[in-house]
A = this chain, B = another copy of it.
């Protein structure tokens, strides 16, 4: 599914500030407020926009530690099994199966390094996990929409 250029500009405007009024966005892209609303409704219906959220500063909420964990699974572990195993952890912000040696990459937010260590131990103890390899985030440089909890 390919999107209109107008749709793209609307999505971009909403991604920057989802609280802008339809009239305001319309003035920018050259449409009336109702026309913008119709397009946004269509974007919601087709799934291009899946919802509205807040950008949260994890550090301000006490989630000071961020990490990427590569997971190496035992053979014959389905992506669904990995998903089911990981979604029980509130600390897991994102997870994807990937190419390369590892089977999945998991993005984790924890309160501090000690908290992260506990979570990692529990994940490493999951029956489908063979071994893990983690890197800790030192400082977030860039965070745009679509990439987990932005700073």
Q: How far is the CB of A20 from chain B (nearest CB, A)?
A: 9
- Closest 8 pairs (CB-CB, A-B): A90-B148, A94-B147, A48-B60, A18-B52, A83-B141, A95-B142, A97-B138, A100-B135
B61–A55 contact, CB under 8 A?
no
Dominant secondary structure of chain A at its interface with chain B: mixed
B15–A53 contact, CB under 8 A?
yes
- Complex partner residue of A86 from B92, B102, B142, B145, CB under 8 angstroms: B142
Interface size band for A:
35 or more
B146–A149 contact, CB under 8 A?
yes
Q: Please report the C-alpha to C-alpha distance between residue A14 and residue B58 in the assembled complex, in whole angstroms.
A: 14
Q: Please report the C-alpha to C-alpha distance between residue A113 and residue B41 in the assembled complex, in whole angstroms.
A: 30
